[in-house]
Structure 1
Amino acid sequence: MYHVRKRKLHSIPTNGSWNVLFFGTDNFALESLQSLYNEYRTKNLSRLEVVSAYKGKKNVIIQYAEEKGINVKQWPLGNDPQDFHIGIVVSFGHLIPLNIINSFPFGMLNVHASLLPRWRGAAPIIYSLINGDTQTGITIMKIMPEKFDIGEIIVQEKLDIHPDEILPELYIKLAKMGANILVDVIRKLPQILSFSRPQEKIGITYAPKITSKISLVKWDEMTAKNVYDLHRGLLGLYPLTTKFGDKTVKLFDVQQMSKPISGTNAENDVPGLVRFDRKSSALIVACKGPSWISVKRVIMAGHSPMSAMDFRNGFMQGKMKEKIFFQSNVI
């Protein structure tokens, strides 16, 4: 059962027109803020203000708030929020202390882009893709003090992941889905809070903030599907990377493929082996299994971007009798 702090009871209206303080920083959060602003504009919310953090350039949340005349508070807050009924946190990235949570009679809710407890942390969408998940979703949960993603679940809705879905597509889908579910939850306050349930103790996984190091392909450890899933999960963020000699190579237009037509005894391919396929004008790279990916474009350190044909002509032509390999050296 959700307990409302007694000292705030007098400020809760009976008509359900709530005062909302929104915490967010990025494009994922922007979808939810836009939906809340539409609720405010149509008088379904009485008050809407924003908390965000930035250094230097203003983020999209602050830009949107200023454009719409929404009051913005800088994080960290100098004082506890006053006269708000609920706090909404979407892709904020900062732990919220107990005193701020307790400033809201209904507490604080978080819109999280996974089916918690799977993929707690900063990068749930990326991890769902690179791990080949077939399903993800949105969880609306209560915020707990000084902890990320452990609070009780209010609402959870599932979304299937297409085998070829890429990060930008899934990101937009989940951002819009999260915004729609959030508005539905706001409209069902406060009764919906009483239906909260603890997260499962099993199936807990973590999705920490990623760096470019995750883009390195480990040919001898990863199947073609693993490599393709990594490509899908990082698309638009980091290109896949490998080594050719002492040069770092970035891989683009990556696809899974069946057994190469060219060459014999492909089932004996060593991971990292590179062929050029004339029919598809692509580099064919052997992965664990063996299995294979195709690569249409590359960028090699110190060189202009090149097609697979350009790479073949520049770096494979004089060595056609030798075997060419991409390596998994640590970046």
Structure 2
Amino acid sequence: MWMIQGPASARSCKIPLALRVFGLKSYSTKTFDPLRILFCGSDEFSIASLKALHAYHLKHPERISSIDVVCRPGKRVGRGLKQIREVSFGRFVPPRILNGAKYGGLNVHPSILPNFRGPAPLHHTLLAGETNTGVTVQTLHHKNFDHGTILSQTPAPGFNVPNPDSCTVLELQSFVAPKGAQMLVESIDKGLYVPPLKDVGWCSAEDERELTHACKINPEDRHIKWAEWTSTDIRRRNRVIGPLWSKAACATSSANEPPSFQQKRVIFTDTEEVDPPFESQSFRELPGLPFTDASPSDEPGTGSLYVYTADCKVHRINRMKVEGQKDSAALPAARKARMIGEQTLQHGNGELTPFHDSLV
């Protein structure tokens, strides 16, 4: 019998990332006697392989006699835990099961392993700006994810990522899932799981030094590093794992008291790269320092909020959510949170209102 298991998904990204398969026992000692399959997983990436296996089972009952499915219960997420998200199996198979498998286990992974080994290969493929990717079928390792024998994989350099400058994780998943499902079925059809196994991997020990580990995505990955991230980095991360966030110093003392500030989280829900509203070397040299082209005397709703990135590009912050507030237009939200100082700076033909401190 075969077992197929999905991987752990990145918590913040809400989608699955790989598929695992285990061979437990056939009805006889013949290499191609019918297999009983236990499929573990319920996410979209896994379901593509399940559908492909079912179609193959109907067409070739002499190869697959049955398919049973195991899935984890949906996970409650979001505010009030009112939404239910399907999750991957995300667990190592107990040794007693894996050790009892006649053919061991298989894993379908959406990258050209061992590159982007880990629970979030689709996310890291896009974050790295890769224009090519692929899929891999490998055996299951007893102790480590994605360290098994590679039985089949997309030949280098892989297939093209669709619209790499705008592709989302869900779009990439929809693109690679059927390719992984097809490779799994072909691997079963060719009997690649039957010993002696042939490793077709491309990577040498020296190559592994240059590989990217596709670690789990967490909230800190959305925390902007203003001194390091370019405009491309920010736009790409917002597309792949956004919305991004930072912290700002907000005044808590009154006008007659000594300055007192509190760090509040700011989530950027709508930003875009724009031309600078004016030339200012001081702001260019301080990425992450928010500024506005409005003065305190301007009518409400006048002016916008801007910030320079590490490569001296300007992003206009259209909307944001300051901790303790609702999502709203950025400049009024900044004023309400008292992110803006009372003093003004003279520049060019108009007054500019500086913020208390850089975003961090």
2:181 to 179, 182, 194: 179
Question: Match for residue 29 of structure 1?
Answer: 46
The farther-off stretch of 19-28 and 318-327 is 318-327
TM superposition shift of 1:122: 1.2
Is 1:47 aligned to 2:62, yes or no?
Answer: no
Q: In the alignment, what sits opposite 1:166?
A: 168
Partners of 1:56 and 1:288 in 2: CA distance = 38
Query: Which structure is larger by alpha-carbon Rg, 1 or 2?
Result: 2
Q: Matched residues in 1 for 2:324 and 2:49: separation? A: 42
Alignment pair present for 1:242 and 2:279: no
In structure 2, what residue type is equivalent to 1:219? W
TM-score (norm. length: structure 1): 0.72
Gaps of 5+ in 1: 1-6, 62-90
Alignment of structure 1 residues 70-89 onto 2, 5 Å: none
Query: Offset at 1:129?
Result: 2.2
Secondary structure of the residue aligned to 1:11 is: coil
TM-score w.r.t. the length of structure 2 is 0.67
1:322 is matched with which residue: 353, 357, 360?
Answer: 353
Q: Are the aligned partners of 2:103 and 2:193 in contact in 1 as well (CA < 8 Å)? A: no
Change in CA separation of 1:19 and 1:295 when aligned onto 2, cut-off 3 Å:
farther
Q: 1:173 deviation in Å?
A: 2.0
Distance change in 2, residues 1:10/1:244 (3 Å):
closer
* Other-structure match for 1:288: 310
1:156 aligns with 2:153: yes
Are the counterparts in 1 of residues 224 and 234 from structure 2 also a CA contact under 8 Å? Answer: yes
5+ residue gaps, structure 2: 1-23, 77-83, 250-262, 295-302, 345-350
| Distance in 2 separating the partners of 1:23 and 1:93 | 9
Matched residue type, 1:132 = G
Change in Cα spacing, 1:164 to 1:276, as seen in structure 2 (3 Å) is farther
2:45 and 2:194 map into 1 onto residues whose CA distance is 24
Q: Distance in 2 between matches of 1:306 and 1:116?
A: 43
Identify the range of structure 1 (240-249 vs 130-139) with the bigger mean alpha-carbon deviation.
130-139
Deviation sequence 1:67-111 (CA, Å, 0-9, x none): xxxxxxxxxxxxxxxxxxxxxxxx532223544234333321101
CA 1:309–1:121: 2 relative to 1, 3 Å: same
Q: Is the 8 A contact 1:30 1:60 kept in 2?
A: no
Contact 1:23 1:51 in 2 (8 A): yes
Mapping 1:98-109, distance limit 5 Å: 98-109=95-106
1:43 offset after TM fit, Å? 4.5
Aligned residue among 266, 277, 280 for 1:265: 280
- 1:301 counterpart residue number: 323
1:145 Cα offset (Å): 0.8
Asked if the contact 1:250/1:299 (under 8 Å) is kept, the reply is: yes
Cα gap change, 1:59/1:42 in structure 2, threshold over 3 Å: closer, same or farther?
farther
State the shift of 1:244 in Å.
2.1
The percent of aligned pairs where both chains have the same amino acid is 27
- What amino acid maps onto 2:140 in structure 1? I
Aligned residues between the structures: 286
